[in-house]
Amino acid sequence: MQCILLAAGYATRLYPLTENMPKALLKLGDKTILEMVTDKIDEVGDVETIYIVTNEKFYTQFSDWSKTYKGPKKIKVLNDHTTNNDNRLGAIGDLKYVIDMENIDDEILVMASDNIFGFPLTDFTDMYRAKDKDMICAHTIENKNDLHSMGVVELEEDGKVKSFEEKPENPKSDLGVPPFYLYKKDTLPLIDEYLKEGNNPDAPGHFIPWLIGKKDVYAYVFDAVRIDIGTPESYYDACERLENGTLFAK
């Protein structure tokens, strides 16, 4: 299994914090956000290499960080050569970029580099092994307004994805989908097919409603805190929670 970390955004909502610093390299206590993510990935024995895909602006900073990584995995940083929000490839475009550039022909764990979470990633990969199907994650969103700005999923009783909608106006459930995905090896060519059809290359969740029309996809539902660091408020809140010892307290 290979891991692809999506880190090619420009984080303009976090300015001025991220004008000259990638969001994933902001500090939470004595660790970067990225380190908190890679610590979780390090526990997944199946992962061989962590590929971090970023842009021209932040490539050097991620490369420098990769030299400080002390974990057990191989790390490789890729530059997608985009320079701003107008010419970015989008998350799914970046996914295809890494697969093509590295000739990946393997199952992949795909994650955002700016989401921290309180559950063991091995629980997700263990369920993936048990189901032997493509998988997403889901969890109950307490603030219903948040459902309008994320992927929302409906599930069958056995966890099979029944419907998936990105940023719905009228959410069909309270299960939000964070950017953690596990794709089987035979799904990789479908990413290329999805893009060639002219579908949305941006948020990684856009791929799921298209994929469930072709394959069964299941969800690992977790009951733990997950923090998407996308605004100054969410960043400072995470800093405060960490300082108070309540980072992942429900």
Please tell me the predicted confidence (pLDDT) of residue 205: 85
Per-residue pLDDT 10s for the chain (250 aa) are: 999 999 999 998 999 999 999 999 999 999 999 999 999 999 999 999 999 999 999 999 999 999 999 999 999 999 999 999 889 999 999 999 999 999 999 999 999 999 999 999 999 999 999 999 999 999 999 888 999 989 999 999 999 999 999 889 999 999 999 999 999 999 999 999 999 999 999 888 899 999 999 999 999 999 999 999 999 999 999 999 999 999 998 8
pLDDT digit string, tens, across residues 202-212: 888 899 999 99
Q: Which long-range contacts (CB under 8 A, 24 or more apart) does 139-144 make?
A: 139/175, 139/176, 139/178, 139/221, 139/222, 139/223, 139/224, 139/226, 140/174, 140/175, 140/176, 140/223, 141/174, 141/175, 141/176, 144/171, 144/174
Q: What is the structure's pLDDT at 149? A: 87
| Half-sphere exposure of residue 206: CA atoms within 13 angstroms, side-chain side | 15
Tell me 129's DSSP state: H
Do 108 and 92 meet the contact criterion of CB atoms below 8 Å apart? no
Average pLDDT, the chain: 95
**Domains of the chain and CATH, by start:** 2-243 (3.90.550.10)
Q: Which two tokens stand for residue 107?
A: 């199952």
| Percent of the chain clearing pLDDT 70 (strictly above) | 100
Q: What is the pLDDT of residues 157-172, one digit of tens each?
A: 999 999 999 889 999 9
Q: How far apart are CA 237 and CA 170, in angstroms?
A: 28
Contact 152, 170 (CB under 8 A): no
For position 106, what pLDDT does the model report? 97
Cα(66)–Cα(71) distance, integer angstroms: 10
Identify the helix (H) or strand (E) that includes residue 66. Answer: helix 59-66
pLDDT for the residue 85: 87
